[in-house]
Structure 1
Amino acid sequence: MSKRPNILCIVSEDCPPKIGAYGDPVARTPHLDRLASEGMLYETANCTSPVCAPSRFAILTGQHAESCPRAQHMQALAHLPESFLTYPAEMRKAGYYCTNNAKTHYNCDVDPDEIWDESSRTAHWRHRADGQPFLAVFNCMTTHESCTFKEQEGAVRPEDVTLPSYLPDTPGMRQSMARHYNAMAKMDAELGKHLSDLEADGLAEDTVVFYFSDHGSALPRSKRYLYDEGLGVPLVIRVPPKWWHLTQHGPGARIEAPASLVDLFPTFLAIAGVEVPMQLHGQALLGLEVESRQYVFGGRDRMGERYDLSRSVRSARYRYVRNYTPYRPLGQYVAFEWLGAHYQDYETAWLAGALDDKQEQFWRQKPAEEFYDLDADPYATVNLIGSRSHLVLADEHRAALDKHMVDIRDTGFIPEHSAAETWEASQNESVYPLERIMAIAARGAERNPANGDGFLADLADGSAVVRHWAARGLLGLAAAGLPLPDGVEAAYAAESDPQVRIPLAEALGRAGYDRRWVNEVTKILIDNDDPRVKLQALDALTWLPLHADISLAAVQALHSDGDTYLRQSSDYLAQRLDGSYRPTNTIFDWSRLDGEGQTGKQKASTSRNVPA
């Protein structure tokens, strides 16, 4: 008999709460349904990022990825500061045998072999010493996004599924959703096997079982996006009767208060009877002192080869989203996403003019702010920003998000691979004056020409990050067809930082004289060796008017680059420039699927050395 409960975590890839226990009539998930009936089901559980690597960073460290420079970007391999903890290391200190089977993809330079007793495809609680409590994690890859790219045998047929109203009803959409349901049924069987093993070993009455997913599903506006379909996850916790003193809820309880996957680390510590360190962002879901959350938070940064910056806060009923780069639509081409027939169908319908207003929103520039009543509008299609009856509620969520971003010192405004993208620099107020930058970026999202002179003045600031966001404020004006203030060209000439020059040149190019500014960005692409500066230049060229005679050769030169995202971005842009692009073209290199975090240890996102 164990003096402290064991912990078993079963983690599925890319799963929204489309499970029988959550009320989904199509799902075939009997083992999960039984687990929920014996445990607690969280109605409003969210991950912190709607893509695996940043989400898994937050689970591992108990801190939002955007609090650690670079960790918020997909496949970025951040340097983990010494002050950051990891839950397996802390649980091992508490005497637990900790195993991981097998996905890591933590988005930082931590060595899995150092923090786990065993991290492999054969890792199991059965390898522990007699009587030793364990924390065992099993990652199920069956439901990963890639399952929608191939046939999945199962009972669910395309005609059985119900598509959300924001997606067009196409064969590819239905096929992909049916495939994902069938993959979830297979995952449910795998979960059942782990639970059977626990029973067979006589450990069920001494083991707290967690089931959750790292983020939401693979369909458009789900994975990678800040809506419930991307951030919402299933979370079920079963506590055996012997340990019911750890919870305030009985079997079959449905908990409406929000919960975050960043809460898992402190919850594990609470189960083990270990004091929760103050630096963790989460709060324990089990233990003697459990407080309900009012809000959970999420972020969207670089997703694959595409840059964006948005933040979200969710309460039990409402979701607020702030888009700091509203001139970039959600529907930016990402080579891995476009392997799915669902994305190919969606873009084909967009180009053919076959979408309704709700479905077109994905392809248009974003609003600066979004606010949704998810009880009345579960698919988040009616933006309530500006609604007089929701002004106070929107303000409350705005304030909660601002406070959260300051409290965790959100580093998402720092350009990737810039000099400020180190832990020390990000904590230096003269290098990274966060609250001032947040204010500039928020004004930029408004796209109000009255702010233009202020952005111009900020281009003289000593902080390159301030100047970058001042330039983005001007870009927002130009992308909205609004005039730029006099003096922007002079500011460009005086600027030496390429990560300020790129958005300035894009702003000037979108405001007129585009050939000159396409040429300027192409020069930066050619002359700069840093792969992320090159990626940012490609991003600007993708949205500037296309001039193949200026940039095609430089773009094609990156076709064989060792950096996955550079190659994908350049191949897409080259096809746009030469006129050969079609939504059904395949650009993703299947030999690099492991780089998307499918198996093993994470690979760096660049073949070149970058700042730690």
Structure 2
Amino acid sequence: MSKDNSPQVTRRGAMRAVAAVAASTAATGALAAQPGERPNILWIVSEDNNPYVGAYGDRLAHTPTIDGLAKKGLLFRNVYSNAPVCAPSRFGILTGTYPESCAPANHMRANAHWPRELKTYPELLRQAGYFVSNNSKTDYNCDIEPERIWDLQGGAGHWRRRPAGKPFMAVFNHETTHESRLFQPTPGRVTPDMVSLPPFLPDTPGIRQDFASYYNMMEKMDGQLAARLAELAADGLADDTIVFHYSDNGGVLPRSKRYCYDEGLRCEMVVYVPPKWRHLMPAAPGSEIKSPVSFIDLAPTLLALAGVAQPAQMRGRPFLGERAAPQRYAFGMRNRMDERYDFQRTVTDGRWRYIRNYMPHRPWGQHQAFEWLAKGYQDWETAHRAGRLNAVQDRFFQTKPFEELYDLHADPHEIANLAGTPAHAAQLARLRAALDAHMVAIHDNGFIPEGMAGEGLVASRNAAIYPLARVMAVAGDAASGRKSPAQLAALLRDGVAVVRYWAAMGLLIAGARAAPQMGAMQAAFAAETSDHVRICLAEALIRAKAAPAPLVDYLAAQVAQQAAWPLQLQALNALTYVGEAARPATPVIAQAAQSNQEYVRNAARYLTSVLDGSYTPAKPIFDYERMMRRMAAGEKGVA
């Protein structure tokens, strides 16, 4: 993470930069694209941004550059990342394939296998004659080698390095608004007393400061955007370059990044198209596009602008160019976020959001070491532990319903869950069906526990290992409680490991209601060959009040082994939620707290502090200094 010394930009300076790019003089207006000519494409990407932007109606925001681009270009009102965190989102942007189609890319910081036979958008653009450069973030969540797919990757990546006469596609990434920048206050024109807080958050000094800092970070980022546009104009390229500005996922204020609400998935995006390329726009300059757009549509849009055929792997639709076609829905997902496992799928049409929770027994607000470095989360949990929250604010720390439905127009903060109200049954059925069809169409791998056989774009197509439709039905029955514990216990003898896993998950979700199936569960635990299933069964048995000692011993043994860290992490998560029963495993947990695997280490450090009574929400679990040392050494996949 490079140090950011960019000055805050004045509104006049920002408007000069935008005007330099978007000047509509008579001469420029007379320009027209020549046969065979292709536009340059510039992506200016920022990190962790909700639309805290003046053009989106935020009166406290000072974002003159983005506002100016929106006035002369297109503002996308309902644009969403496909995951509420960077690495899975970037996988989808790069490949045009949903991360949950290529597990473990659906988990935060993983290394999914991407078949070399399938090409990413920079490779396809290179084949079409474009010079492609990336400056400089990769974080693609898979085994793609960045240096292989880009003409120029790294800090030197710039359109200025292209061969003469070549069109370019250049990416610049700014980390000014990244989550980590929130850990220290950012002074500026917005002060804590000026902000308005959403009703799901308590009013605390730390939360107010986080909001104020975020506005000030957004203003700094806007200044960087102005500088890049001025550079483009100075090089005489403004008339030939289509400019995109978007954020890689939603924001970082409490209940945003990592969560499948609008705060985690809804982003800001504006696109400026010079006059000679206006025939590629779906609407007039200054227009708002209200139909849903998601980042899975970015790669198809690039290819459409460049006149390149879209490969079958890319599931999105172009929103610019001659092939532009509006989407009806935008889909999102969550699986493991850092050291915590969860499983959510969601769909929105821009008006309604539907969320399905396949692990409703886990609270929304699972402690995550990196996330909890922010004062906002510390203050929120402190107020929860002190009993100072109202029901709306305290919901974050409670377990979840199977389904959620929100009217985003009437309830933009997604507080009133309408999933159980008869008046909204039609909306629920429509979005439920859309999500089911989507998950089948993209062959969602998310039901496979991390590290189990069957993960991957190709491997998951083996129906003997992963019969998706059947697994979806069992998982839905398990998470919703539609099947009884007796019916789930019968599935523990199934020949497919993933089916057995979701049967065990359903018994875990059932908790004490599974107690009558204790004998069947114990027999299944003894006979089970998959440790993924056994870990889930062990937690289910403890929660159903089985004698915990042998089960805790088994979980401790999984934590102690180091050959497969996802199993270590799954066992640590199970121990975290069995309470005092985990205490005999304390020595093994303390040893895991020294692990070199970041997520194992953080989960173990947290659990150790809970068991020894030293935990407070402000206690630093994440080793921030260690991360900074790794970043300084140039390690990839950090932060």
- TM-score under structure 1 length normalisation: 0.96
Q: Does residue 524 of structure 1 match 2:552?
A: no
Per the alignment, residue 193 of structure 1 pairs with 227
Per the alignment, residue 43 of structure 1 pairs with 77
Find the aligned partners of 1:281 and 1:598 in 2 and give their Cα distance: 37
Query: What runs of 5+ residues in structure 2 fail to find an aligned partner?
Result: 1-32
Per the alignment, residue 77 of structure 1 pairs with 111
Find the aligned partners of 1:594 and 1:253 in 2 and give their Cα distance: 42
- One of 400, 406, 415 as aligned partner of 1:381: 415
Distance 1:120 1:203, change over 3 A: same
Displacement, 1:479? 6.6
- Per-residue CA deviations over 1:189-221 (Å, capped at 9, x if unaligned) read 000001111111111111100010011111221
Task: Please give the secondary structure, in 2, of the residue aligned with 1:311.
Answer: strand
Q: Does residue 225 of structure 1 match 2:264?
A: no
Correspondence 1:432-443 to 2 at 5 A: 432-443=466-477
Correspondence 1:268-347 to 2 at 5 A: 268-347=302-381
Per the alignment, residue 244 of structure 1 pairs with 278
Per the alignment, residue 429 of structure 1 pairs with 463
Displacement, 1:82? 2.9
- One of 598, 601, 607 as aligned partner of 1:567: 601
Residue identity in the other structure for 1:235: M
Per the alignment, residue 451 of structure 1 pairs with 484
Confirm or deny: 8 A CA contact 1:456 1:485 kept in the other structure.
no
Per the alignment, residue 610 of structure 1 pairs with none
Per the alignment, residue 402 of structure 1 pairs with 436
Correspondence 1:100-139 to 2 at 5 A: 100-139=134-173
Correspondence 1:587-606 to 2 at 5 A: 587-593=621-627, 602-603=636-637
- Per-residue CA deviations over 1:485-505 (Å, capped at 9, x if unaligned) read 651111111112111011111
Distance 1:292 1:479, change over 3 A: farther
Per the alignment, residue 88 of structure 2 pairs with 54
Confirm or deny: 8 A CA contact 2:129 2:167 kept in the other structure.
yes
Find the aligned partners of 2:564 and 2:146 in 1 and give their Cα distance: 28
Displacement, 1:289? 3.0
C-alpha RMSD of matched pairs (Å)? 1.9
Confirm or deny: 8 A CA contact 1:45 1:232 kept in the other structure.
yes
Between stretches 423-432 and 69-78, larger displacement belongs to: 423-432
Per the alignment, residue 247 of structure 2 pairs with 213
- Per-residue CA deviations over 1:108-144 (Å, capped at 9, x if unaligned) read 1111111111111121101111221100111000000
Displacement, 1:276? 1.4
- One of 535, 543, 548 as aligned partner of 1:510: 543
Confirm or deny: 8 A CA contact 2:297 2:318 kept in the other structure.
yes
Find the aligned partners of 2:177 and 2:295 in 1 and give their Cα distance: 19
Per the alignment, residue 21 of structure 2 pairs with none
- One of 367, 381, 405 as aligned partner of 2:401: 367
Task: Please give the secondary structure, in 2, of the residue aligned with 1:546.
Answer: helix
Find the aligned partners of 1:87 and 1:51 in 2 and give their Cα distance: 21
Residue identity in the other structure for 2:327: R
Per the alignment, residue 24 of structure 1 pairs with 58
Displacement, 1:387? 1.2
Per the alignment, residue 263 of structure 1 pairs with 297
Distance 1:327 1:42, change over 3 A: same
Displacement, 1:547? 3.7
- Per-residue CA deviations over 1:151-197 (Å, capped at 9, x if unaligned) read 21210101111111111111110111111110110000000001111
Displacement, 1:513? 3.1
Find the aligned partners of 2:306 and 2:458 in 1 and give their Cα distance: 33
Confirm or deny: 8 A CA contact 1:103 1:597 kept in the other structure.
no
Displacement, 1:524? 2.9
How many residue pairs were aligned? 604
Per the alignment, residue 445 of structure 2 pairs with 411
Task: Please give the secondary structure, in 2, of the residue aligned with 1:557.
Answer: helix
Distance 1:561 1:430, change over 3 A: same
Confirm or deny: 8 A CA contact 2:576 2:582 kept in the other structure.
no
Confirm or deny: 8 A CA contact 1:50 1:226 kept in the other structure.
yes
Task: Please give the secondary structure, in 1, of the residue aligned with 2:267.
Answer: coil
Residue identity in the other structure for 1:93: Q
Distance 1:383 1:514, change over 3 A: farther
Confirm or deny: 8 A CA contact 1:8 1:210 kept in the other structure.
yes
Identity across the alignment (%): 49
Displacement, 1:481? 8.0
Distance 1:318 1:403, change over 3 A: same
Correspondence 1:163-182 to 2 at 5 A: 163-182=197-216
Find the aligned partners of 1:211 and 1:362 in 2 and give their Cα distance: 32
Distance 1:217 1:143, change over 3 A: same
Find the aligned partners of 1:153 and 1:480 in 2 and give their Cα distance: 52
Distance 1:548 1:432, change over 3 A: closer
Residue identity in the other structure for 1:463: V
Task: Please give the secondary structure, in 1, of the residue aligned with 2:214.
Answer: helix
Confirm or deny: 8 A CA contact 1:45 1:233 kept in the other structure.
yes
Confirm or deny: 8 A CA contact 1:53 1:75 kept in the other structure.
yes
Find the aligned partners of 2:470 and 2:73 in 1 and give their Cα distance: 45
Distance 1:263 1:469, change over 3 A: same
- Per-residue CA deviations over 1:438-460 (Å, capped at 9, x if unaligned) read 11111111135x52222112211
Displacement, 1:335? 0.5
Find the aligned partners of 1:264 and 1:488 in 2 and give their Cα distance: 47
Residue identity in the other structure for 2:343: L
- One of 15, 39, 46 as aligned partner of 1:5: 39
Confirm or deny: 8 A CA contact 2:131 2:162 kept in the other structure.
yes
Task: Please give the secondary structure, in 2, of the residue aligned with 1:66.
Answer: helix
Find the aligned partners of 1:394 and 1:224 in 2 and give their Cα distance: 24
Per the alignment, residue 608 of structure 1 pairs with none
Residue identity in the other structure for 2:494: D
Per the alignment, residue 611 of structure 2 pairs with 577
- Per-residue CA deviations over 1:370-425 (Å, capped at 9, x if unaligned) read 00010110011000012111111111101110111111100111111122224443
- One of 361, 370, 386 as aligned partner of 1:352: 386
Confirm or deny: 8 A CA contact 2:42 2:171 kept in the other structure.
yes
Find the aligned partners of 1:90 and 1:17 in 2 and give their Cα distance: 31
Distance 1:567 1:367, change over 3 A: same
Displacement, 1:336? 0.3
Displacement, 1:280? 0.6
- Per-residue CA deviations over 1:15-63 (Å, capped at 9, x if unaligned) read 0011000000111100010001011111110000000000000000011
Confirm or deny: 8 A CA contact 2:84 2:260 kept in the other structure.
yes
- TM-score under structure 2 length normalisation: 0.92
Find the aligned partners of 1:8 and 1:181 in 2 and give their Cα distance: 25
Find the aligned partners of 2:289 and 2:54 in 1 and give their Cα distance: 16
Residue identity in the other structure for 1:357: A
Distance 1:54 1:269, change over 3 A: same
